């Protein structure tokens, strides 16, 4: 994967994370525990992918 593709993937995962952060806020507002748990899990997963991709990008830039 080239640097430009990695940057695009990072942007996509950040957008995904932002979506789930919105879902988390909504679940808290309405007390939906199932939705909250899903949103929290997806936020963690998104952050893991972002971290992995950022490490990959740093290795390619080095």
Can you give the pLDDT at residue 1? 81
Per-residue pLDDT tens for 20-50?
A: 999 999 999 999 999 999 999 999 999 999 9
Backbone angles phi, psi at 31, to 5 degrees: 70, 30
Where in the chain are the domains?
Answer: 3-61
Report percent pLDDT > 70 for the chain.
Answer: 100
Could you tell me the pTM of the whole model? Answer: 0.90
Asked whether 60 and 5 are in contact (CB, 8 A), the reply is: no
């Amino acid at each position: 994967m080239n640097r430009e593709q990695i940057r695009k993937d990072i942007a996509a995962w950040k957008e995904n994370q932002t979506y789930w952060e919105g879902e988390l806020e909504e679940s808290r507002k309405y007390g939906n525990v199932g939705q909250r748990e899903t949103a929290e899990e997806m936020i963690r997963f998104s952050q893991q992918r972002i971290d992995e991709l950022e490490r990959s990008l740093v290795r390619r830039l080095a």
